[in-house]
Structure 1
Amino acid sequence: MMKSPTTSPSVTMMIFFSDVTYKVVMKGMTTSEEKDILKGITGCVSPGEVLALMGPSGSGKTSLLNLLGGRITHHPTVGGSITYNDQPYSKFLKSRIGFVTQDDVLFPHLTVKETLTYAARLRLPNTLTQEQKEQRALDVIYELGLERCQDTMIGGSFVRGVSGGERKRVCIGNEIIINPSLLLLDEPTSGLDSTTALRIVQMLQHIAEAGKTVVTTIHQPSSRLFHKFDKLILLGKGSLIYFGKASEAMSYFQYIGCSPLITMNPAEFLLDLANGNINDVSVPSELEDKVQMGNLSEAETRNGKPSPALVQEYLVEAYETRVAETEKKKLLVPIPLDEELKSKVLCSKRQWGASWCEQFSILFLRGFKERRHDYFSWLRITQVLSTAVILGLLWWQSDAKNPKGMQDQAGLLFFIAVFWGFFPVFTAIFTFPQERAMLNKERATDMYRLSAYFVARTTSDLPLDLILPVLFLLVVYFMAGLRLSAGPFLLSILTVFLCIVAAQGLGLAIGATLMDLKRATTLASVTVMTFMLAGGFFVKRVPIFISWIRYISFNYHTYKLLLKVQYDEEVTPMINGIRIDSGSTEVVALIAMVFGYRLLAYLSLRWMNVS
């Protein structure tokens, strides 16, 4: 494995955690109760070591990892202490901590090289040039053995891309690109075959050897994987069953009377114990005596053997009475730390890897590259062009010189206003709910400002949004025989574009506020239907107590503008019941919707981030 010249972190980090507790409030229909997730976990990990957090599902592994990574802070139900080089957690440590989540949160249409290059440009210090950041991304690609697939798309559910092991290495590369002092990983081997999983763990060893502190959760590793770990924490229902060297775990459990009766993978044996399962495991003499003497209730025995709950209770008690005090005393012994290390942790300042404008330009380009594939899919192009051809055939060379022809054309213009109001709303609804995991992940590491992301995300679609409407109008406009001159044609395009941007704003606001696709789709359906009905075509005389709806309907304002563009020179000031005026009111209303809806969406995202 190649070594990057900047692999070694600038600050080594020692983590101590003592009597860590964590509870969550379980809310029922009428009452709420607290559930213990972690019950007094104590341990430590030093630079150059790989600490594995093991335990069955629901034992608290991920919760402990989140606490160590500062993902759960200032929570009223968190107790105990966690220190980094003898200092408590602060937000300034974000730039020194890498966190690899269990789910591979990546953009499917970006290549491996693009993914890591964008991460380098956003996360590396702004003291480095763009060329140095891009070189760092290449170094990480070679360090992780990704050079063969660097120009391959990541892929996803409907996009063919790299393999599962390569995806996981890209996720790790996203974090080690900043040379973190502490690297945390949640289930990095889940879903991988044993050979690929071994390569991942060997890679973690190399990362630790470079001076980093590595902590990883792992569910059921093979025996080869298990022996790669330096330290082990074994959890059972939130309680600590073992903390110490991984190589000494089997000896400890044999010492307390639990040893496998058949040849077993050490990890499988330990997980059986953490679950309270003692099949093919010798029963400790203390428990065996209790069973034989009949001192246990029916709930504490099962088929003549101690119940899983009793076994877990015994293991927790055995650790607390025989090992815990000794380990805690070791942690209390002060380990000499360079005062410079402490000051670096204390005096670190929050620094962005790029200025606001640079963040915007990087995120704009990344968003444009990612979404151009969706925008120019054959399905979308076929949908738009086929609709345009059908409209052109139905309104073929319509004549606006007589009232009936003018009324027919008004129907076409209203449909255009509805189609380009409906279509963008339901496309934009998916924007933030689909990217929520990515946004949470990147914002948790201070990758960029929320405002830079929001502006880039909502503007990177605009160049793409203009192409399909132009193709649509090129077909409809000339087939339907609308005003054949450059001015009205260009104004029609601008009107439709303004409608699209306003409708997108509504979709963004609904999606960002609810963050639930089912509820957002339901609300959008009702809203768009109401706007369409109040758009001025179906109902001419709306009751005064509900007439205000048409003034907040982008369909209504778009329809009036399209009528204005087509019939500006007509003698009659009324067309199909709609009064034709200067159009300035409609333009101002649509522009207000463009910015107003987006402001609501931004405030919703800000509230979500704060909460």
Structure 2
Amino acid sequence: MASEILNSESQKTQTQETKLRKIYVKANQPVTLKFEDVVYKTKTRKGESWFNKKASSEEMILKGVSGIVLPGELLAILGPSGSGKTTFVAALGGRLRESITSGSITYNGKLFSKQVKQNMGYVPQNDVFYPHLTVSETLVFTVLLRLPNCLSKEEKVSHGEAIMEELDLTRCKDTIMGGPSLRGVSGGEWKRVSTAQELLTNPSLLLVDEPTSGLDSTTAKRLVLVLCELAQSGRTIVMTIHQPSSKLFYMSQKVLLLSDGYSLYFGKGEHVIDYFSNIGCVPPLAMNPSDFLLDLANGISSGNPNEDTGAVKQALLSAFELNLGRQLKMALQDSMVQFQETSINNRDSQWCTTWWQQFTVLLARGFKERKHESFSVLRICQILAISLVSGLLWWESRFQNMQDQVSLLFFYTQFCGFYPMAHAIFTFPRDLGMLIKERSLCMYRLSSYFMAFNIVDLPMQLSLPGTFVTITYWMGGLKVNAVIFFHTLSVALLYILVAQGLGLAIGALIYNERAAATVGSTVMTLFVHANGFYVQDMPMIFGWIKKISPSYYCFKPLLGSQFNNCDTYPRGGPSVTCSLGSHPVIKHAGLDNQGLCAVALAVMLVVYRLIAYFALKIGIKNRDLLC
């Protein structure tokens, strides 16, 4: 029946020869997937108590799962929710944070490695995308990064367009992906884009978790048909599927039925009904075979509401061990000869493209994605409103009120410190999922991403706070001199970049957004308080804070741009003046060593970004050990 359904579906599409095969890069070597007695345990948290804050226990998710999938076969993994389907596929794809407890998973007789990973595609159940990129942009940027340089840019783009057409994404190619708070493509289109990203590289082994969830029956059938065609061309396909239709069920060559982590059936899909009928489990009426299997996996073999589901599951498990377990072990042993004859294709390099190509593609993608957030109408209006209100508040300093002018310069250290840091601190925690996903696919080097990201963020980080400084400078009555103005602006812009680097470093060290925001605001508050405006006679125990405070090294040259030691200011009356050096704030901060402050800020600019880079590298490595 499976072959009849597949042949009938293929005949319908024969007039449109699959562009997938025409434009694919050369196929990698076939992969034979073998898993034997796979057991996986994970630690779960118990209820915390006053005496035991870290109480935990082990939970067994997979309990001795075995099987083999040959090139040209499609394995469908069925089972109710909580049966271990997603965990098992993650184990096959090397995506579990902890290694399997016992058993083995091999690919052409080899354990999981970078070479295996390069020849594998993995489509998760819940994928992540950049929300403001369209479907076409998402796939084009992916194909430019993931396909090798033996193809030209035009061939890569043409390849991406063929995948879009094959998965019926052409109609929504100009629709943005969207997100939780941004309307974009539908759930079904989201899933197809996720699948398309993996098909771009023509993998020999493709693992797909719930590919048909959220799809209508026609689209789901077309997607599974594409997977079948890939399998027919010599690829190994494994997919989990919750409740497929009869047509989708019979498209798969093999079926694995899981229940509470145990295998209840492994074999050809067309033999599954006969197998369960022979052990006494006959469908009560004509029904979808997948519905019948899910009932059995839930311990329901008849319509009796008082049925002992535990006893049914145990009986099915015993029948599997008795009837299929021995045959499966023999098949695994017989496959050893084939494993020795085939091997995973090794690439000469981990990366498909050069550093510069990765940098330029990431730079273009970053500008397209970030511009919607960086220069939103709300953010521009926010800056303009704060600038105008602040300028009006300091309007009186036009009458040479020195204290007001010093206060305005101090406010620069506050605004130009907190604003860029507050936006930068959320960058890595927010983008961590996407970064881990793309790095796990070896799409680009971390250094190329980091450099492109820093350049992409420059326009927003510099232009909006720079606008604030420009407006308030002329409205606040500071010195009307172009040279002095650009000196003040340059100091402020350098400080903005330092504050941004501090935010990136904190965000890379602390991936929890709320905790990172708390730490960032606390650190910046301490730095601002140490620059000498609030407290001039600081206790010695806190004196060291000033030495590492970027706010201090910014405030000092800002004062130096407006005042010098020869100036005087009124004190005690209009006719009484004092030397500027006796002003408490200026006396504490000082007007000397202006060049040293610039050097200190430049060093901090580099150091904070180096901390962010290496913290990000370590954090990603801990989450994906193979990249």
* Number of equivalenced pairs: 583
Structure 2 Cα separation of the partners of residues 514 and 526 of structure 1? 14
- Of 15, 19, 25, which aligns to 2:37? 19
Mark the runs of 5 or more structure 1 residues left unpaired by the alignment: 282-302
Per the alignment, residue 3 of structure 1 pairs with 19
- Of 15, 30, 52, which aligns to 2:76? 52
Aligned residue type for 2:417: G
Structure 2 Cα separation of the partners of residues 375 and 609 of structure 1? 26
1:369-389 deviation per Cα after TM superposition (whole angstroms, max 9, x unaligned): 111100111111111110000
Structure 2 Cα separation of the partners of residues 610 and 457 of structure 1? 19
- 1:214 is paired with a residue whose SS is strand
- Of 418, 421, 424, which aligns to 1:425? 421
Alpha-carbon offset, residue 574 of structure 1: 5.7
Alpha-carbon offset, residue 325 of structure 1: 0.8
Structure-2 change in CA distance of 1:206 and 1:334 (3 Å)? closer
Structure-2 change in CA distance of 1:304 and 1:158 (3 Å)? closer
- 1:88 is paired with a residue whose SS is coil
- 1:545 is paired with a residue whose SS is helix
1:102-135 deviation per Cα after TM superposition (whole angstroms, max 9, x unaligned): 1131111112222112111211113333333223
Structure-2 change in CA distance of 1:97 and 1:400 (3 Å)? farther
Per the alignment, residue 293 of structure 1 pairs with none
1:348-398 deviation per Cα after TM superposition (whole angstroms, max 9, x unaligned): 444311112222222122112111100111111111110000011111162
Per the alignment, residue 13 of structure 2 pairs with none
8 Å contact from structure 1 (residues 6, 179) kept in 2: no
Aligned residue type for 2:274: S
Per the alignment, residue 225 of structure 1 pairs with 248
Bigger drift between 366-375 and 190-199 goes to: 190-199
Q: Does 1:606 align with 2:595?
A: no
8 Å contact from structure 1 (residues 557, 586) kept in 2: yes
1:139-192 deviation per Cα after TM superposition (whole angstroms, max 9, x unaligned): 322332222332332222233322222222221121111111111111222233
Per the alignment, residue 391 of structure 2 pairs with 392
Structure-2 change in CA distance of 1:310 and 1:588 (3 Å)? farther
Q: Following superposition of structure 1 onto structure 2, how do residues 427-466 of structure 1 map, counting pairs within 5 Å?
A: 427-466=423-462
Per the alignment, residue 125 of structure 2 pairs with 102
Q: Does 1:518 align with 2:520?
A: no
Q: Following superposition of structure 1 onto structure 2, how do residues 160-179 of structure 1 map, counting pairs within 5 Å?
A: 160-179=183-202
Structure 1 Cα separation of the partners of residues 187 and 582 of structure 2? 63
Q: Following superposition of structure 1 onto structure 2, how do residues 79-228 of structure 1 map, counting pairs within 5 Å?
A: 79-228=102-251
Alpha-carbon offset, residue 539 of structure 1: 1.1
Q: Following superposition of structure 1 onto structure 2, how do residues 241-260 of structure 1 map, counting pairs within 5 Å?
A: 241-260=264-283
Per the alignment, residue 49 of structure 2 pairs with none
Structure 1 Cα separation of the partners of residues 408 and 116 of structure 2? 59
1:79-108 deviation per Cα after TM superposition (whole angstroms, max 9, x unaligned): 222222333332112221111111131111
Structure-2 change in CA distance of 1:583 and 1:202 (3 Å)? same
Q: Following superposition of structure 1 onto structure 2, how do residues 276-355 of structure 1 map, counting pairs within 5 Å?
A: 276-278=299-301, 280=303, 305-306=307-308, 308-334=309-335, 337=338, 341-342=342-343, 345=344, 347-355=346-354
Aligned residue type for 1:254: S
Mark the runs of 5 or more structure 2 residues left unpaired by the alignment: 1-15, 47-51, 568-579, 623-627
**TM-score if structure 2 supplies the norm length?**
0.87
- 1:227 is paired with a residue whose SS is helix
- 1:259 is paired with a residue whose SS is coil
Per the alignment, residue 12 of structure 2 pairs with none
8 Å contact from structure 1 (residues 121, 353) kept in 2: no
- Of 36, 39, 42, which aligns to 2:60? 36
8 Å contact from structure 2 (residues 40, 60) kept in 1: yes
Alpha-carbon offset, residue 252 of structure 1: 1.7
Structure 1 Cα separation of the partners of residues 28 and 509 of structure 2? 41
Structure 2 Cα separation of the partners of residues 504 and 466 of structure 1? 10
8 Å contact from structure 1 (residues 94, 446) kept in 2: no
Structure-2 change in CA distance of 1:407 and 1:148 (3 Å)? same
Bigger drift between 231-240 and 591-600 goes to: 591-600
8 Å contact from structure 1 (residues 232, 245) kept in 2: yes
**TM-score if structure 1 supplies the norm length?**
0.89
Alpha-carbon offset, residue 197 of structure 1: 3.0
8 Å contact from structure 1 (residues 91, 350) kept in 2: no
8 Å contact from structure 1 (residues 55, 219) kept in 2: yes
8 Å contact from structure 1 (residues 24, 77) kept in 2: no
Structure 1 Cα separation of the partners of residues 619 and 360 of structure 2? 24
8 Å contact from structure 1 (residues 400, 409) kept in 2: no
Structure-2 change in CA distance of 1:446 and 1:466 (3 Å)? same
Alignment identity in percent?
Answer: 44
Aligned residue type for 2:23: T
1:503-537 deviation per Cα after TM superposition (whole angstroms, max 9, x unaligned): 11221122111211121122122222222222321
